[in-house]
Amino acid sequence: MPSNRVVNLIQVSMGSKRCPQKAVANICGRPALAHLIDRVRLTKRPVDTVICAAMEPEDFVLARIADIEKVKFMVGPNEDVLFRLLMAAHREDADHIVRITADDILVDPEHIDKAIDIHLETGADYTAWEGLPKGTEAEIISVRVMEQCYRMYGIAAHGEFFANCIKDSGHFRIERRVVDRKYFRPYSFEINTPADLNIVRGIFEQIYQLGKIFTLEELLQFIDHNPEALQRKFNLRIKE
């Protein structure tokens, strides 16, 4: 009988073409990745967190952040993201992973824990929320299914969008739950470009307090109360 051991895996690379070195970008005096770790650390269901970096020289600066933040660190192939995550999952003896990308430093720990409960209760292979703002989301994936996906599809399907093969194959049990309406917003907080980074940095400058991690509700309340100022100053993107 599986142990249902769940581990957070933070997928990160310094080699982003659209926004290089965003993981170490300074936001309120700390690297962006450290802010993400703060939020992931609040999850209750996963037993551990691992930074999964690319096997590139520039990525080893991330090991220093992992050391300071007291989380585990490993490196794996740059392009073969699926294999990199499987390496970490096997090393941690995980049955399921929470896949979190470094683009999403505003990920919501409460919805991660709720998604894990749904995933385990239903016996799902893949679980995610629909309706959360982009950049606050994560995916729960069975390691067994990741292994099957690795065997079933060629190397071209092992990149950062490998989860699409799981979701779209028709072979696996997918749980996509619609988020409570109070959390739905058509915004994107993902960091894909320098402009996106400025949006997120601007939000932190407005509501971040050292030692206090603002919740998704607090973030959305701030957006609701300052929509015109945010859109004018930070050009907040509508979710595509």
Residue 224, in any domain of the structure = no
Residue 153 lies inside a defined structural domain of this protein:
yes
Tens of pLDDT, residue by residue over 83-102, are 999 999 999 999 999 999 99
Which residue, 120, 99, 88, 90, is CA-closest to 1? 120
Residue 11: inside a domain, yes or no? yes
Q: What is the pLDDT of residue 21?
A: 92
Query: What CA dihedral angle connects 30, 45, 178 and 198, to 10 degrees?
Result: 0
CA 199 to chain centre: 18
Domain containing 39 equals 6-184
User: Does residue 18 belong to any structural domain of this protein?
Assistant: yes
Residue 20 lies in a domain: yes
Residue 214 corresponds to which tokens in the numbers above? 């603002």
- pLDDT tens digits, residue range 98-124? 999 999 999 999 999 999 999 999 999
Segment 5-35, tens digit of pLDDT: 999 999 999 987 888 899 999 999 999 999 9
Tell me the pLDDT band of 161, cut-offs 50, 70 and 90: confident
- CATH (domain of 32): 3.90.550.10
Mean pLDDT of 43-52: 96
Query: Per DSSP, what are the bridge partners of residue 76?
Result: 54
230 part of a folded domain: no
Give the count of domains, the chain.
1
- The verdict on residue 59 lying in a domain is yes
Per residue in 187-219, pLDDT (tens digit) is: 899 999 999 999 899 999 999 998 899 999 999
Tokens found for residue 225 = 């109360």
**Residue 65 belongs to some domain of the structure:** yes
